[in-house]
Chains A and B, each alone.
Chain A
């Protein structure tokens, strides 16, 4: 069955970096783009952007152009989200979701806490 399995929770200090993963299984990884979505505690969903899994080209929403990096390890069917120079406002759960438009399968989410 199709699954997106994300890495575990993270506790980081401001200024640090992190890289979370989203491992896909049950389908051909390069057949679907991967998108990333942020959910701050108790808040709604915020679209971060997407990555073309065939070319590796990322496209970011405006709020996520500065410190955020989408990448791939195609041989491992894995997408990554890296956040540099972490800020308190990055505290959130981050989801990966399959497909550029559909978002038909979602990962379980990674809870990231940024605190000094």
Chain B
């Protein structure tokens, strides 16, 4: 199975600060279709996960543009340009290129 390694485990940031989360995969996530199926989701406390980014860098329509995704092959990054209070929760990367799909272990973002 593809192992997804997320760092850091947690972040404690003040509102307005930037955030960066790394996600590394044990195999290339570039699929035979030429697409890279690396997604990011956010799970707020007590809620189900919500979509953020798909195929590395494509934001869903409702996601604020302070979020961005980048990377290729085995190294990916989620960035928040300026953290807001509503951004707290656990961020997961997950890959859909190889079966079984696998999730990172999560990065908990706390607001100072």
A: which residues have CB within 8 A of B?
Answer: 35, 44-47, 49, 59, 61-62, 95, 97, 100-109
Cβ contact within 8 Å between A103 and B48: no
**Contact B103 A105, beta carbon cutoff 8 Å:** no
Which one of B39, B104, B105, B106 lies within 8 Å of A103 (CB-CB)?
A: B39
Residues of B with Cβ closer than 8 Å to A?
Answer: 37, 39, 41, 43, 47-51, 54, 60, 90, 92, 94, 96, 99-106
**Assembly CA distance A49 to B100 (angstroms):** 7
Partner of A35 from B54, B101, B106 at Cβ < 8 Å:
B101
Closest 6 CB pairs of A and B: A101-B96, A61-B100, A45-B103, A106-B48, A47-B101, A104-B51
A–B pairs, 14, beta carbons within 8 Å: A44-B104, A44-B105, A45-B43, A45-B49, A47-B103, A59-B99, A61-B99, A61-B100, A102-B54, A103-B51, A104-B51, A105-B51, A106-B48, A106-B49
* B28 to A: closest C-beta gap in Å: 16
- Please name all residues of chain A whose beta carbon is closer than 8 Å to the beta carbon of B105 when the two chains form the complex: 44
Contact call A45/B48, Cβ cutoff below 8 A: no
In the bound complex, what is the Cα–Cα distance between A106 and B49 (angstroms)? Answer: 7
Measured in the bound complex, the distance between the Cα atoms of B107 and A44 in whole Å is 10
Determine if A102 and B96 form an interchain contact, defined as CB atoms under 8 angstroms apart.
yes
Distance A61 CA – B99 CA, assembled complex (angstroms): 8
B78 CB to nearest chain A CB (Å): 16
